[in-house]
Amino acid sequence: MIEKTAPPKTHPRAKHDWEEFAATLKADPGQWYRMPCTNRSLSTQIAAGRYSAFRSDSGRFDTATRKVDGVVYLYAVYRTD
């Protein structure tokens, strides 16, 4: 039997509310926040401007990913200086 279908994803994609996370950072500049994530390359993707929520004319976002006790976290801070 032949079926027309795409292969399934190897793992589910994480869905994050980037607008809410970026707004939280902008409301508290200079303070680091973290959220669990599934992809260690998120920091690079945010720096490259892939997510519009993290684009700003009046400041910049600094990010890093770290694995803590087996969980990967995205750390981020909004800077206005």
Measured CA to CA, the distance from residue 42 to residue 67 in angstroms comes to 13
DSSP per residue, 8-65: PPSSPPP---HHHHHHHHHHSTT--EEEE-S-TTHHHHHHTT-SGGG--SS-EEEEEE
CATH of domain 18-79: 3.30.1370
> The whole model's pTM is what?
0.76
pLDDT in tens, 29-60: 999 999 998 888 889 988 888 888 998 888 99
The model's confidence at residue 69, banded by pLDDT at 50, 70 and 90, is very high
- For the chain, the structural domain boundaries read 18-79
